[in-house]
Protein backbone atom coordinates (compact mmCIF):
# COMPACT_ATOMS: atom_id res chain seq x y z
CA UNK A 1 0.00 0.00 0.00
CA UNK A 2 1.57 3.25 -1.11
CA UNK A 3 -0.59 6.21 -0.19
CA UNK A 4 0.24 9.68 -1.47
CA UNK A 5 2.40 12.67 -0.61
CA UNK A 6 2.32 16.30 -1.74
CA UNK A 7 5.94 17.22 -2.44
CA UNK A 8 5.70 20.51 -4.26
CA UNK A 9 9.17 21.64 -5.32
CA UNK A 10 10.92 18.81 -3.42
CA UNK A 11 10.43 16.59 -6.45
CA UNK A 12 9.32 17.92 -9.81
CA UNK A 13 8.52 14.90 -11.97
CA UNK A 14 11.93 13.92 -13.28
CA UNK A 15 14.08 16.26 -11.20
CA UNK A 16 14.86 17.19 -7.60
CA UNK A 17 13.81 20.67 -6.54
CA UNK A 18 14.73 24.06 -7.99
CA UNK A 19 17.98 24.43 -9.89
CA UNK A 20 18.80 27.90 -8.51
CA UNK A 21 18.60 27.04 -4.81
CA UNK A 22 21.03 25.34 -2.39
CA UNK A 23 21.65 22.11 -4.32
CA UNK A 24 22.91 19.96 -1.40
CA UNK A 25 19.87 20.93 0.71
CA UNK A 26 17.50 20.34 -2.21
CA UNK A 27 18.90 16.85 -2.79
CA UNK A 28 19.10 15.91 0.91
CA UNK A 29 15.39 16.44 1.63
CA UNK A 30 14.01 13.92 -0.88
CA UNK A 31 16.64 11.36 0.12
CA UNK A 32 15.87 11.71 3.83
CA UNK A 33 12.11 12.18 3.73
CA UNK A 34 10.67 10.95 0.46
CA UNK A 35 12.82 8.12 -0.85
CA UNK A 36 12.27 6.23 2.41
CA UNK A 37 8.58 5.87 1.49
CA UNK A 38 7.15 2.89 -0.36
CA UNK A 39 7.88 2.89 -4.09
CA UNK A 40 4.14 2.73 -4.72
CA UNK A 41 3.56 6.07 -2.97
CA UNK A 42 2.11 8.62 -5.40
CA UNK A 43 3.93 11.96 -5.46
CA UNK A 44 1.81 15.02 -6.26
CA UNK A 45 4.61 17.31 -7.44
CA UNK A 46 2.68 20.51 -8.01
CA UNK A 47 4.59 20.84 -11.30
CA UNK A 48 3.84 18.44 -14.11
CA UNK A 49 2.32 15.01 -13.80
CA UNK A 50 2.05 12.92 -10.66
CA UNK A 51 4.70 10.25 -10.26
CA UNK A 52 5.61 7.48 -7.83
CA UNK A 53 8.52 7.27 -5.42
CA UNK A 54 9.87 4.31 -7.43
CA UNK A 55 9.83 6.37 -10.65
CA UNK A 56 11.54 9.35 -9.00
CA UNK A 57 14.31 7.47 -7.12
CA UNK A 58 16.71 7.48 -10.12
CA UNK A 59 16.29 11.27 -10.49
CA UNK A 60 17.66 12.12 -7.04
CA UNK A 61 21.47 12.12 -7.12
CA UNK A 62 23.39 10.11 -4.54
CA UNK A 63 25.19 12.13 -1.85
| Residues facing residue 5 across a β-bridge | 43
pLDDT band at 9 (very low <50, low <70, confident <90, very high): low
Q: Pick 63 or 54 by higher pLDDT.
A: 54
Q: What is the rounded distance in angstroms from the CA atom of residue 63 to the CA atom of residue 37?
A: 18
Q: Sheet containing 4-6: which strands, arranged edge to edge?
A: 4-6, 42-44, 51-52
For position 42, what pLDDT does the model report? 92
What are the pLDDT digits (tens) for 13-51? 455 555 556 777 777 877 888 888 999 999 887 777 888
The whole-number pLDDT of residue 47 equals: 72
Amino acid sequence: MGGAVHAERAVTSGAAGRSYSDRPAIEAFPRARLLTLSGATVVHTGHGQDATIAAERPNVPAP
